[in-house]
Amino acid sequence: MRLIGMLVLACWAGLACAAEPALEQKQADARKQQAELRARIDVLQKEIDSQESSRRGAVQQLKESESAISEHSRRLAELADRQKAVQEDLTRIAGRITAQQGLLRERQDALGDQLRAQYASGLSPWTALLSGDDPQVIGRDLSYLGYITEAQAEAVVAVRQALDELAALRAASEARRTELGQLADEAVEQQKALEAQQAERQKVLARIEAQLKEQRGQAERLARNEQRLGELITGLEKEIARQVEAARIAEEKRRAEEARRAEQARQQALERQRELERERQRAREAEQAARAAQEAARRQQDQEAAERARIQVERARREARAAEQAEARARAPEPAPAEQSVRGSVEGTGPQASPQVPSGGFAGLRQGMPYPVSGDVLGKFGAERPEGGLWRGIVLRSPEGTAVRAIADGRVVYANWLSGFGNIMIIDHGAKYLSVYAYNQSLLKRVGDVVAGGDTVATVGATGGQVEPGLYFEIRHQGTPVNPLLWLKR
């Protein structure tokens, strides 16, 4: 497995070295294009800010105008109700005045009748006292006169009360008439204000209608942007599938070549094993011959023969040790040239900082992944956008320059500027899952870079014609947008 990993690493190193000049040129062109686009975006941004401010002002004016119309209409209705109530009060007061005038006439007539009767009868205090000498008659006349005087006083009080009530009713009637006139004047003013507000509302509506036409144009541009993004992702998926198929074919060829080499190495090892066995057999035969010669020399007490035998024994032992060492070397697998080359280059450059592609490829996405950046979530997936179209992702509001992190392991398959999305990065996570990061201020990874979950891949910005900084984020499976909130950690 280590040999396979080294071979894969060597292949990637070779590809990176071969593509480096082209990538540098491509990066230089992209930076130049980005500078030109940034200049254009600055101009467009000012126009967008002005239009957005005007749109908000028109909406606010419409709100104020329609609220004023509602208030004036309510005031007119209240004035009409008050006029009706005052008119009813006037009618009631007029009725009470008529009734009071009738009562006053009745009481005046009653008082006049009493005075005429008293005058006709000649009754008075002095007449009663001087009318005779009978005290009882005088007392009776005085009593009658007292009753008459008391009734007259009550009649006078009643007449005075009727006059006061009539005066109060007339004053109330005059006040009500004055109030009615004021209400009529105020109603005229309110009607004029209402007509003025309605005219202002028509102007505001005309402005908003013009803005709606502009928004419809923006909606069409958004639809075209979405179409471009969809076509880009479709092309990327086809390219990813083509690369996966090419990698599969290359892997099959590599495995077949490894199997062929392994079989060849096995056959060579078997041949070396047989050769070693033959060498050991020759060594054993030589040792036996030497021992036999040594034994014969010992029996014959031949010193010279014994010395020769010892020399032969030593030589046989050396040959045996050489055979054992050769056998040990045969058992240890020899490193392949490619592995030696890769090991040398890796050990010479130190540890690698970037992650590598897993041997089985990326495993796709799982639920509960961390957000790419912290911030308030704007827009609801699948809901209508204010400027038209549907939300196919979410926008995370965050300060400009905030680090954008990959949600999972994967490989960068697109990193460039795209109309409507600004600086955009797309990461392939395997199993036909893609994550999209747009509106970025800067892209910190290039196409082909392998990233791990949590790696910083970009910084938050407001590119692509945005007003406020934030990150536009999508998740797509088999090219279709899915709700990101179902995949991110709650």
pLDDT tens profile 62-93: 677 667 777 767 777 887 887 788 788 878 88
β partners of residue 403: 459
**33: pLDDT strictly greater than 70:** no
pLDDT of 248 reads: 86
Handedness of CA 358, 360, 364, 369 (dihedral sign): negative
How is domain 362-490 classified at the CATH fold level? Glucose Permease (Domain IIA) (2.70.70)
Map 332-349 to HEC letters. Answer: CCCCCHHHHHHHHHHHHH
Judge contact between 479 and 234, C-beta under 8 A: yes
Q: How confident is the model at residue 141 (pLDDT cuts 50, 70, 90)?
A: low
Residue-wise pLDDT for 373-413, tens only, equals 999 998 788 888 776 778 899 999 999 999 999 999 999 99
β partners of residue 472: 395, 438
- In percent, the amount of the chain with pLDDT more than 70 equals 62
Give residue for tokens 């536009």. 472
Residue-wise pLDDT for 260-301, tens only, equals 999 999 898 888 888 888 888 887 887 787 777 666 666 666
Amino acid in the structure at residue 352:
Q
Residue-wise pLDDT for 309-356, tens only, equals 667 667 777 776 776 666 666 555 444 433 333 333 333 333 334 566
**127: pLDDT strictly greater than 80:** no
Q: How confident is the model at residue 12 (pLDDT cuts 50, 70, 90)?
A: very low
* Tokens representing residue 13 in the block: 């190193």
| Residue 143 burial class via C-beta count within 10 angstroms: exposed 0-12, middle 13-18, buried 19 and up | exposed
* Tokens representing residue 124 in the block: 């008075």
pLDDT of 36 reads: 59
Range 110-125 average pLDDT: 64
**Length of the chain counted residue by residue:** 490
Q: How confident is the model at residue 121 (pLDDT cuts 50, 70, 90)?
A: low
The span from the CA of 216 to the CA of 222, in Å, is 10
* Longest CA pairwise span in the chain (Å): 217
pLDDT of 26 reads: 54
Q: Where are the CATH 1.10.287 domain residues in the chain?
A: 61-213
The span from the CA of 66 to the CA of 185, in Å, is 23
* Tokens representing residue 418 in the block: 């795209």
The span from the CA of 233 to the CA of 480, in Å, is 10
pLDDT of 155 reads: 65
**433: pLDDT strictly greater than 90:** yes
The mean pLDDT of the chain is: 75
Most confident of 58-72, 102-116, 148-162, 260-274: 260-274
pLDDT of 76 reads: 76
- In percent, the amount of the chain with pLDDT more than 90 equals 21
Which CA distances in Å does 256 have to 3, 259, 262, 352?
15, 5, 10, 29
Handedness of CA 448, 449, 454, 460 (dihedral sign): negative
β partners of residue 450: 411
Judge contact between 457 and 412, C-beta under 8 A: yes
**10: pLDDT strictly greater than 50:** no
**132: pLDDT strictly greater than 60:** no
| Residue 171 burial class via C-beta count within 10 angstroms: exposed 0-12, middle 13-18, buried 19 and up | exposed
Which CA distances in Å does 284 have to 290, 294, 390?
10, 15, 88
Annotate 302-323 with b (16+ C-beta within 10 A) or e (fewer): eeebbeebeebbeebeebbeeb
**103: pLDDT strictly greater than 70:** yes
Cα pseudo-dihedral 257, 260, 264, 270, rounded to 10: 130
The span from the CA of 150 to the CA of 473, in Å, is 102
DSSP 105-148: HHHHHHHHHHHHHHHHHT--HHHHHHS-S-HHHHHHHHHHHHHH
Most confident of 214-228, 234-248, 310-324, 469-483: 469-483
Range 193-211 average pLDDT: 76
Most confident of 157-166, 196-205, 353-362, 404-413: 404-413
Most confident of 52-56, 352-356, 400-404, 479-483: 400-404
Matching CATH number, 61-213, of 1.10.1200, 1.10.287, 1.20.950, 1.10.10: 1.10.287
Question: Residue 371 in 3-state DSSP?
Answer: coil
- Other beta carbons within 10 angstroms of residue 32's beta carbon come to 10
The span from the CA of 100 to the CA of 222, in Å, is 81
The span from the CA of 407 to the CA of 426, in Å, is 12
Q: Quick one: which of 427, 388, 382, 47 has its CA closest to 225?
A: 388
**461: pLDDT strictly greater than 90:** yes
Q: Quick one: which of 141, 143, 116, 119 has its CA closest to 128?
A: 141
Judge contact between 489 and 464, C-beta under 8 A: no
Give residue for tokens 């396979």. 4
Q: Pick the range with the lowest mean pLDDT from 59-68, 122-131, 167-176, 211-220.
A: 122-131
pLDDT of 40 reads: 55
Give residue for tokens 């900082």. 353
Half-sphere exposure of 293 (CA within 13 A, CB side): 18
Q: How confident is the model at residue 7 (pLDDT cuts 50, 70, 90)?
A: very low
pLDDT of 105 reads: 78
| Residue 474 burial class via C-beta count within 10 angstroms: exposed 0-12, middle 13-18, buried 19 and up | buried
- Distance between terminal CA atoms of the chain? 39
Q: Where are the CATH 2.70.70.10 domain residues in the chain?
A: 362-490
More confidently predicted of 128 and 288: 288
Half-sphere exposure of 300 (CA within 13 A, CB side): 13
* Tokens representing residue 243 in the block: 């690369």
**96: pLDDT strictly greater than 70:** yes
More confidently predicted of 119 and 426: 426
pLDDT of 235 reads: 81
What global pTM score does this model have? 0.41
